[in-house]
A and B are shown apart, each in its own frame.
Chain A
Amino acid sequence: MARRRARAALLGTAFAVLAGCSASAATDRPAAAPPPPAADAPQPFASTYTPRPAADTAIVGASILTGTGERIDRGTVLMASGKIVAVGANVDLPAGVRVVDGTGKWVTPGIIDAHSHLGVFAAPGVQGHADGNENIDPYTAHVWAEHSLWPQDPVFTKARAGGVTSLLILPGSANLFGGRGVSVKNVPAVTVQQMKFPGAPYTLKMACGENPKGRYGSRGRAPATRMGEVAGFRRAWIDAAEYARKLDAYEKKRARGEGGEAPKRDLGLETLAGVLKGDILVQNHCYRADEMAVMLDVGHEFGYKTRAFHHAVEAYKIADLLAKEDVCVATWATRWGFKMEAYDAIEENAAILTKAGVCVAIHSDEQRLVQRLNVESAVALAAGRRAGIDISQEEAIKWITLNPAKMMGIADRTGSLEAGKMADVVLWSRNPFSVYAIAEKVFIDGALILDTSDPATRYRSDFEIGQPVGEE
């Protein structure tokens, strides 16, 4: 109840902001800025994440890609109390700080995957673990990925070995509205609450194209076509706007001290209303350029903003439009051709978009790729160079650090090496755009959560205990 009231109190102002479809600055902060009527009431499924004990640590002598577009050679990253304290070529080290020699090595922010299904499509991929798609109805804005997430998915550990410190876990793409995603910190945990990124805004997974129409059209129900999908979206937003208006009217009356019965909660419309208000960030699975352009217009029609198009393999065809609309793109370099809408995917996508000024993330959507987003980024870099677009490594590292953090609304807390941010840091054995680079030390909130020189830090999920598992 508290969440709903909090949103309802904000509706009036949020609509005003969204009318112009400008970027909602509020979405980079934790949801709900002004105090809601029942601010003291607990949020459901609240994060119980607690940073691990962390020794104050300085990595010295390494080449640092800061995630802010800079590179510092023979620099120092100083972490204390779980936060980045200083990054630079000349940093004075306080007494008692633990010093890690980074000579010849590289430091980056923790890697962030803006599109993952770890835990909701967990390994082993048996039917009993298929919890990512509530694919019995195209409109499932009411489901939350966190209620499916199995923290014992052994792939979380493997992702950590690839330097991944945060992930956006999304529902699948069978439905027009797939449900809410959840941002997590990649720490060993028993409950999802222990992983939830504290204060991260919620996200809504939407999906265009072949998946929803293929799922439902083949079962004799809507949507069976792309036009059916767009009609489905529009109808849903009409309902959401009405729901939001009712809530707003009720809250205004309540604020004036007038009585009246609160409208009955609707979990799905609550999520959509949260999008209209700008609290919940739209993550839209969409492959084709023409479809993305249509979805942008759906957003204009109903006053919501798409935070990022995911997969978006044809985004390079509308780079200027996406730059103008200030919409991010989360994509791959290597995947293509597995379905018709992925036929025009090219390795140069990220480079073309970056040059046009679009905020780009390289994402995984996959269990193996999440372990080497750095290599995937190198493929995208090389393809850009081949096409005459030379993106610097200082810029390209943002594809897997700062930009996914932006898409998830957590860029004020992680994603780059800046004083005051969470000390989510990776020490690489060599330049991270090399296939040979190994994430030797992974820090999450300053705690050394994985250290290849200390096998005891290699966490085994409960599932792997007592099994004949390999080294990594």
Chain B
Amino acid sequence: MQRRLPVFAALALALAAAAPTAAAQTFAITNAHLVTPGPVGEVENGTVIVRDGRIAAAGAAIVVPSGMRIVDARGATVTPGFVAVNTALGLVEVNSVGGSVDNRTHNSGISASFDVQYGLNPDSTLIPIARLGGITHAVVMPDYDDSDQERELPFAGKAALITLGEGAAILHRSGVAMMLELGEDGAARIGGSRAAEFVQLRQIFDLARQPPRDEYPFELSQADVAALKPVLEGTMPLIVVVHRAADIRQVLRLARDYKLKIILSGAEEAWRVADEIAAAKVPVLINPTSNIPSNFDMLGASLQNASILKAAGVDIAIGGNDGGHRVREMRYNAGLAVSRGLPYAAGIEALTLAPARIFGVADQMGSIAPGKAADIVIWDGDPLEPLTQPTAIFIAGKEQPLTSRATELGKRYAR
């Protein structure tokens, strides 16, 4: 150890000399138009003090310690980094190239035990592209492999939370939730009917509460049943992808009966049962632009979903337009929800503090507040507007490059 110390010190010095901004995670952002959920709120001429990658102070009338490096925002809007939900970032490179897709399995012995943390690729080109949308963290979720139509497959597996900061260590926390899809597509995987799918789910939960056995129905392995334990204990939330109002009611009842901590996802018809969802204190992950009656599960899909849910008191997080390549569009989706009546502050919160809260990391991220990681984005305008771009992105205080494979390609060909 002693022999290695000087090497490290020299390396650190060299880094500091080469890239002082990246190495120094202690600085102040001044002249900032702070827009953040939480106690700091909106501050016209605010300051953020960052020490060792954490926010030390934020708000108006903050004194910058003398000698501290200053990032002058010149009045620009400064927000917390966005926390994306419903993503496959780090698990998917090209959708149609099977070998580059790791968010699902055809292995019939793995459903609830599928764990995305092992498939993460920190070199995915999707990560810098999402980051340029102001996204600093993402919930990475498993999906279903439906290539075998005969396979019974209730759960997709365990989700993880990743950081989008440069570097190899992108896993922030594994096992942040269990994934389950119900409704038309879910029913197709277990029983072919809603009336069967809820019976089977209850049967699975009952079995999982009993002592382990050698074999389980529905192609569940021992590992799958073990993976359900924290769900049944209420320590791991269960994300339920569901669309139809009637199905949402069934899910709320199921959650009540088994004391599950659930998160609704998709939920296009949630606006029709908004009060019941609010009363059950169940959060919802939505794409507010999902207004197409794509099947008989979501004939009521509406652009008003976000604003009606919020008005009823439901905690909502807003996602992007697919799991990977179009995650960066989540801020426009929040803007479109605002255009249809969602209060602006709620739109910002649905990209930041709400997802952090829903996935149990609101003490670490999601707002500009003392004690939290310095995940901060400086924008050249209103971050919900497509004409706006980030001008600086910090993750845990580290300044991130404003480039991606796509911008490099653009640079090569633009004249």
Which residues of A are at the interface with B, using a C-beta cutoff of 8 A?
A: 123-126, 154-155, 158, 210, 316-317, 319, 334-340, 343-348, 351-352, 355-356, 367-368, 371-372, 375, 378-379, 381-383, 385-389, 433-438, 463-464, 467-472
Instruction: Specify which chain B residues have a CB less than 8 angstroms from the CB of A371 in the assembled complex.
Output: 289, 291
Evaluate whether A335 and B96 lie within 8 angstroms (CB atoms) in the complex, with A379-B332, A437-B339, A472-B291 already known: no
Report whether A436 and B339 are in contact in the complex, using a CB–CB cutoff of 8 Å.
Answer: yes
Interface centre among B93, B385, B411 (most CB of A within 10 A): B385
Choose among A372, A375, A382, A471 the residue that contacts B388 (Cβ–Cβ < 8 A): A382
For residue B69, CB closer than 8 A to chain A, the reply is: no
What are 10 A-B contacts defined by CB distance under 8 Å? A123-B293, A338-B322, A348-B414, A352-B415, A367-B294, A368-B321, A371-B289, A386-B389, A463-B293, A467-B293
For residue B1, CB closer than 8 A to chain A, the reply is: no
Number of A-B contacts (CB under 8 A): 151
Instruction: Specify which chain B residues have a CB less than 8 angstroms from the CB of A388 in the assembled complex.
Output: 414
Which residues of B are at the interface with A, using a C-beta cutoff of 8 A?
A: 93-97, 126, 245, 269, 271-272, 289-296, 299-305, 321-322, 324-326, 328-329, 332, 335-336, 338-340, 384-389, 406-407, 409-411, 413-415
Separation in Å of the A377 CB from the closest CB of chain B? 9
Separation in Å of the A218 CB from the closest CB of chain B? 12
Report whether B301 and A346 are in contact in the complex, using a CB–CB cutoff of 8 Å.
Answer: no
Evaluate whether A346 and B409 lie within 8 angstroms (CB atoms) in the complex, with A334-B321, A372-B336, A470-B271 already known: yes
Complex: A345 Cα to B384 Cα, angstroms: 23
Report whether A338 and B325 are in contact in the complex, using a CB–CB cutoff of 8 Å.
Answer: yes
Separation in Å of the B354 CB from the closest CB of chain A? 19
Instruction: Specify which chain A residues have a CB less than 8 angstroms from the CB of B294 in the assembled complex.
Output: 123-125, 367
Report whether B295 and A435 are in contact in the complex, using a CB–CB cutoff of 8 Å.
Answer: no
Complex: A389 Cα to B414 Cα, angstroms: 8
Report whether B387 and A382 are in contact in the complex, using a CB–CB cutoff of 8 Å.
Answer: yes
Report whether A471 and B304 are in contact in the complex, using a CB–CB cutoff of 8 Å.
Answer: yes
In this complex, what residue of A is CB-closest to B329? A334
Instruction: Specify which chain B residues have a CB less than 8 angstroms from the CB of A367 in the assembled complex.
Output: 292, 294
Instruction: Specify which chain A residues have a CB less than 8 angstroms from the CB of B269 in the assembled complex.
Output: 468
Evaluate whether A346 and B410 lie within 8 angstroms (CB atoms) in the complex, with A368-B290, A435-B335, A468-B272 already known: yes
Report whether A470 and B386 are in contact in the complex, using a CB–CB cutoff of 8 Å.
Answer: no
Report whether A382 and B389 are in contact in the complex, using a CB–CB cutoff of 8 Å.
Answer: yes
- What 3 A-B pairs come out closest when comparing CB atoms? A470-B302, A435-B335, A378-B386
Report whether B302 and A472 are in contact in the complex, using a CB–CB cutoff of 8 Å.
Answer: yes
Complex: A438 Cα to B302 Cα, angstroms: 15
Choose among B95, B290, B293, B385 the residue that contacts A435 (Cβ–Cβ < 8 A): B385
Interface centre among B245, B291, B322, B329 (most CB of A within 10 A): B291
Complex: A336 Cα to B407 Cα, angstroms: 13
Evaluate whether A340 and B385 lie within 8 angstroms (CB atoms) in the complex, with A334-B321, A352-B413 already known: no
Instruction: Specify which chain A residues have a CB less than 8 angstroms from the CB of B336 in the assembled complex.
Output: 372, 375, 435
Interface centre among A154, A338, A464, A467 (most CB of B within 10 A): A338
Instruction: Specify which chain A residues have a CB less than 8 angstroms from the CB of B95 in the assembled complex.
Output: 337-339
Besides A344-B409, A383-B410, 4 other A-B contacts (C-beta < 8 A) = A316-B413, A355-B414, A355-B415, A435-B338
Complex: A379 Cα to B129 Cα, angstroms: 14
Complex: A341 Cα to B294 Cα, angstroms: 27
Complex: A316 Cα to B409 Cα, angstroms: 10
Report whether B332 and A472 are in contact in the complex, using a CB–CB cutoff of 8 Å.
Answer: no
Report whether A382 and B409 are in contact in the complex, using a CB–CB cutoff of 8 Å.
Answer: no
Complex: A375 Cα to B414 Cα, angstroms: 22
Complex: A458 Cα to B291 Cα, angstroms: 15
Choose among B289, B300, B329 the residue that contacts A468 (Cβ–Cβ < 8 A): B300
Choose among A124, A382, A385, A434 the residue that contacts B293 (Cβ–Cβ < 8 A): A124
Evaluate whether A123 and B292 lie within 8 angstroms (CB atoms) in the complex, with A336-B325, A338-B325, A471-B303 already known: yes
Interface centre among B271, B329, B410 (most CB of A within 10 A): B410
Instruction: Specify which chain A residues have a CB less than 8 angstroms from the CB of B386 in the assembled complex.
Output: 375, 378-379, 381-382, 433, 435
Instruction: Specify which chain A residues have a CB less than 8 angstroms from the CB of B409 in the assembled complex.
Output: 344, 346
Evaluate whether A352 and B410 lie within 8 angstroms (CB atoms) in the complex, with A433-B386, A468-B300 already known: yes
Complex: A470 Cα to B407 Cα, angstroms: 39
Complex: A336 Cα to B292 Cα, angstroms: 22
Complex: A191 Cα to B332 Cα, angstroms: 36
Complex: A383 Cα to B404 Cα, angstroms: 13
Instruction: Specify which chain B residues have a CB less than 8 angstroms from the CB of A469 in the assembled complex.
Output: 293, 299-300, 302
Interface centre among A345, A368, A388 (most CB of B within 10 A): A368
Instruction: Specify which chain A residues have a CB less than 8 angstroms from the CB of B340 in the assembled complex.
Output: 472
In this complex, what residue of B is CB-closest to A470? B302
Report whether B339 and A154 are in contact in the complex, using a CB–CB cutoff of 8 Å.
Answer: no
Instruction: Specify which chain B residues have a CB less than 8 angstroms from the CB of A154 in the assembled complex.
Output: 293
Evaluate whether A336 and B304 lie within 8 angstroms (CB atoms) in the complex, with A378-B387, A435-B339 already known: no
Instruction: Specify which chain B residues have a CB less than 8 angstroms from the CB of A340 in the assembled complex.
Output: 94, 96-97
Evaluate whether A387 and B414 lie within 8 angstroms (CB atoms) in the complex, with A158-B291, A337-B95, A468-B299 already known: yes
In this complex, what residue of B is CB-closest to A337? B325
Complex: A385 Cα to B387 Cα, angstroms: 9
Instruction: Specify which chain A residues have a CB less than 8 angstroms from the CB of B293 in the assembled complex.
Output: 123-124, 154, 463-464, 467, 469
Complex: A356 Cα to B413 Cα, angstroms: 11
Separation in Å of the B98 CB from the closest CB of chain A? 11
Separation in Å of the A338 CB from the closest CB of chain B? 5
Complex: A381 Cα to B389 Cα, angstroms: 11
Choose among B296, B338, B388 the residue that contacts A124 (Cβ–Cβ < 8 A): B296
Interface centre among A336, A337, A356, A437 (most CB of B within 10 A): A337
Choose among A123, A319, A356, A375 the residue that contacts B332 (Cβ–Cβ < 8 A): A375
In this complex, what residue of B is CB-closest to A388? B414
Report whether A436 and B335 are in contact in the complex, using a CB–CB cutoff of 8 Å.
Answer: yes
In this complex, what residue of A is CB-closest to B336? A435
Report whether A381 and B387 are in contact in the complex, using a CB–CB cutoff of 8 Å.
Answer: yes
Evaluate whether A334 and B410 lie within 8 angstroms (CB atoms) in the complex, with A470-B305, A471-B303 already known: no
Complex: A80 Cα to B108 Cα, angstroms: 67
Complex: A438 Cα to B303 Cα, angstroms: 12
Choose among B245, B295, B301 the residue that contacts A125 (Cβ–Cβ < 8 A): B295
Separation in Å of the B187 CB from the closest CB of chain A? 15
Report whether A338 and B300 are in contact in the complex, using a CB–CB cutoff of 8 Å.
Answer: no
Evaluate whether A470 and B292 lie within 8 angstroms (CB atoms) in the complex, with A334-B321, A436-B335, A436-B339 already known: no
In this complex, what residue of A is CB-closest to B384? A435
In this complex, what residue of A is CB-closest to B410? A348
Interface centre among B289, B302, B339, B411 (most CB of A within 10 A): B339
In this complex, what residue of A is CB-closest to B322? A338
Complex: A297 Cα to B300 Cα, angstroms: 49
Instruction: Specify which chain B residues have a CB less than 8 angstroms from the CB of A158 in the assembled complex.
Output: 291-292
In this complex, what residue of A is CB-closest to B408? A346
Report whether A316 and B410 are in contact in the complex, using a CB–CB cutoff of 8 Å.
Answer: yes
In this complex, what residue of A is CB-closest to B338? A436
In this complex, what residue of A is CB-closest to B268? A470
Instruction: Specify which chain A residues have a CB less than 8 angstroms from the CB of B245 in the assembled complex.
Output: 468
Instruction: Specify which chain A residues have a CB less than 8 angstroms from the CB of B329 in the assembled complex.
Output: 334
Report whether B299 and A337 are in contact in the complex, using a CB–CB cutoff of 8 Å.
Answer: no
